[in-house]
Amino acid sequence: MKRRLLRAPTDGGEKGQALVETAIAFPILLMVALALVQFALYVHAEGVVTGAVQDGARVAAAEDSTLGDGILHTEALLRAGLGRSAGDVTVQGAAGSDTVMIEAQGHLHLIIPWVGGGSLPLHARSTVSRERFRVGPGG
12 has pLDDT over 70:
no
What letters, b where the CB count within 10 A reaches 16 and e where it falls short, cover 112-129?
eeeeeeeeeebebebebe
The reply to whether 1 falls in a domain is no
Q: Which domain holds residue 98?
A: 23-129
**Res 100: pLDDT:** 96
Q: What is the pTM of this model?
A: 0.78
**Res 7: pLDDT:** 63
The reply to whether 5 falls in a domain is no
Question: What does the pLDDT average to over 105-113?
Answer: 88
Q: How many domains are there within the chain?
A: 1
Instruction: Give the Cα-Cα-Cα angle 62, 65, 70 (nearest 5 degrees).
Output: 90
The reply to whether 6 falls in a domain is no
The reply to whether 61 falls in a domain is yes
The reply to whether 4 falls in a domain is no
